[in-house]
Amino acid sequence: MQTSNPPTNPVFVALSGGVDSAVAAHLLKPQFSNLTGISHRHWPESRCCSTECVDRCAKQCLELDIPYFAVDCVVEFTKIIIDNFVSNYERGLTPNPCVLCNENIRFDWMIRKHFQKQNLPVPKDYKLATGHYARVEERAGRFYLLRGRDKTKDQSYMLHRLSQEELSHTLFPLGNFFKSEVREMALKFNLKSAKIGDSQDLCFVQDTYQNFIRQYSEKFYAPGNFVDQSGNILGQHKGLVFYTRGQRNGLGLSGGPWYVLKLNCQENTVVLSSRDALLEKRFRADRLRWIYPEIPDGLECRVQTRYHTQETNCRIFHEGKDQIVVELATPSSEVSPGQSSVFYANDEVIGGGIITGFA
C-alpha cells in the first residue's frame, strides 16, 4: 500500500497517554510510513507526563510498531510556564498556562530538543500531529486555525498563539470528529485508554493551585483585608495569590454572596462586590498574536475571554503597536486580567492577546 508521505518527511504524533492522542496515532498510522510517537516530560507529578503516562504511551507505540521518544522539557517548562504562573498570581492576575505551553513547549521546544539530542537540525518539512479538537487550513500560502467540528470540545482557544511557522507543521486528525466518535474508534481499536476520562484541570496541579504555589515558591504571602468597594473591612484574606477575579467560593464570609472584584497589590487588599459589579464592557489586551494578515481598526467580530465560555460580539480598536481596546456589545463578567482574549470570524480564529485591564 502506497503511503501519502515520503520517508524524508518526518511525522510525529504527540502522545499524552489519553484517548484523544491515541486515536490520532491510530488514524495516522495507515497514512504515514514514518510515524513517530513523542511526548514531553515537563513536570514530575504532571497528569500527562508521569511515569505511568509515559509507559502507557510507549506501549501504545509498541502496539502500533512505531518508534517512541519522551523528551525532557522540565527546565523550559519551569522557566516559561511555572514561573510565569506563580508570578502572575503574585501580581494579581489570572494566568492561562495551557495557552503558553502550546505556544512554547508542545509545538516548539519538544521538537527542537528531540533533534538537538540527536545532534540534528530541525527539518523544514516535519509534521506534528496532536489530539486537539481544532482544524488548520492552508489558503494562498497562509495557514488558518479553525474551531473543531465538535463545538463542545473545541480547543482552538488554547491554540490561538501558534505562529504561522508552527501552524504550517501542524496536523489535527480529530478536528472533524465528535468526541463520541473518537470514543467509538477507541473501542474499535481496543485501546486501554478508551475509558479514561478527560483531564479538566491544570496538568501540573495535584489538588489546588493555592497549595501548588505555597509548595513551589516557599514564600510567605502576607494576609490582609477583604474590603468592599467603599473600603469597608469585611474580614481577612490569606494572601493575594490565593484569590482570582470572579471567585466566590472559599472566601469564608457571611452576608454575601460576595465575589472577588479586584486585587490591590499595593494595599494588599482583596476588593469584594456583588456579581453585577463584575460586568465590564471595555478591556485592553497586549502581547497580540494575529492569524489574519490584516486587522482593520474597528473590526467587528466575536471574542471569547475564557476557555469554554460563550463568545460575544465585539469591536477591536488599535491603541499603539501592540495593544488593543476591545468593546463588547454586551457587558460580561468573564473578563479577567491575565487571561486570553481570542477573536473569531465564524469558526476561524482571527487572533488574540492577553487581557491587561479595563478601559
Query: Is the domain of 96 the same as that of 186?
Result: yes
Whole-number Å distance between alpha carbons of 114 and 103: 17
Task: Report if residue 169 sits inside a domain.
Answer: yes
- My answer on whether 150 and 118 are in the same domain is yes
Q: Which of 48, 49, 101, 314 is catalytic?
A: 101
CATH number, domain with residue 122 = 3.40.50.620
Q: What is the spatial distance between Cα 205 and Cα 207, in angstroms, rounded to a whole number?
A: 6
Q: Do the domain assignments include residue 54? A: yes
pLDDT at 3 (0 to 100)? 47
Contacts within 8 Å (CB) and 24+ apart, 298-301 = 299/350, 301/343, 301/344, 301/345, 301/350
Is-catalytic flag, 203? Answer: yes
What is the number of H-type helices and E-type strands within the chain?
10, 17
Residue 185 and residue 75 in one domain: yes
Give me the mean pLDDT over the 266-270 stretch.
Answer: 96
Q: How far is CA 301 from the centre of its chain?
A: 21
Residue 6: pLDDT band (50, 70, 90) is very low
- CB-based contacts of 302: which residues, under 8 Å, 6+ apart? 311, 312, 313, 314, 343, 344, 345
163-177 residue pLDDT tens: 999 999 999 999 999
**Residues 327, 332, 336, 342: what is their CA dihedral angle, to the nearest 10 degrees?**
-60
Average pLDDT over residues 118-128: 94
- CB contact set of 303 (below 8 Å; sequence gap of 6+): 311, 312, 314, 326, 328, 341, 342, 343, 344
User: How many domains does the chain contain in total?
Assistant: 3
- The cell numbers describing 320, all together, are 499603539
Per-chain mean pLDDT for the chain:
93
Gap between the Cα atoms of 222 and 227, Å rounded? 16
**H-state helical runs in 161-207:** 164-168, 179-188
3-state secondary structure of 177: coil
222 CB-contact burial (10 Å; exposed 0-12 / middle 13-18 / buried 19+): exposed
The Cα–Cα gap between 205 and 115 comes to 29
In order of 130, 137, 251, 305, the CA distances from 71 in angstroms are 16, 28, 41, 32
71 and 99 inside one domain:
yes
* Neighbour-count burial of 149, counting CB atoms closer than 10 A to its CB (0-12 exposed, 13-18 middle, 19+ buried): middle
Q: Has residue 128 got a pLDDT over 60?
A: yes
State residue 8's pLDDT score: 63
What are the tens digits of pLDDT across the range 196-242? 666 656 888 888 898 899 989 989 999 999 999 999 999 999 999 99
Do residue 247 and residue 294 come from a single domain? no
Per-residue pLDDT, averaged over 300-308, amounts to: 96
User: Are 233 and 128 found together in one domain?
Assistant: no
* Domain match, 185 and 226 both: no
Task: Indicate which CATH number applies to the domain containing 270.
Answer: 2.30.30.280
Q: Is residue 211 in a domain?
A: no
| Mean pLDDT computed over 15-43 | 94
* Per-residue pLDDT band at 112 (split at 50, 70, 90): very high
- Examine the domain organization and report whether 186 and 287 are in the same domain: no
Residue 137 falls inside a structural domain: yes
For the domain that residue 317 is a member of, what is the CATH number?
A: 2.40.30.10
Q: Which three cell numbers stand for residue 276?
A: 453585577
What pLDDT sits at residue 197? 63
Q: Say how far apart CA 269 and CA 239 lie, in whole Å.
A: 9
> Is the same domain home to 272 and 328?
no
Q: Are residues 22 and 153 located together in one domain of the fold?
A: yes
**Domain membership of residue 168 as a residue range:** 11-195
Does 5 have pLDDT greater than 60? Answer: no
Which of 82, 152, 70 has the alpha carbon at shortest distance from 114? 70
212 in a structural domain = no
pLDDT at 7 over 80: no
Q: Say if 266 falls within a structural domain.
A: yes
Give the three-state DSSP class for 306.
Answer: coil
Is-catalytic flag, 314?
no
The owner of cell 509515559 is 54
Q: Which of 57, 73, 98, 203 is catalytic?
A: 203
pTM (predicted TM-score): 0.92
Does 185 score more than 70 pLDDT?
Answer: yes
The residue-averaged pLDDT of 49-71 equals: 91
Q: Looking at the structure, do residues 66 and 20 belong to the same domain, yes or no?
A: yes
- Give first-to-last CA distance, the chain, whole Å: 60
Task: Flag whether 210 is in a domain.
Answer: no
Is 230 found in the same domain as 190? no
Q: Is 301 helix (H, G, I), strand (E, B) or coil?
A: strand
pLDDT tens track for 131-164: 999 999 999 999 999 999 999 999 999 999 999 9
1 is a domain residue: no
> Cα 31 to the chain's mean position, in Å?
28
pLDDT at 2: 42
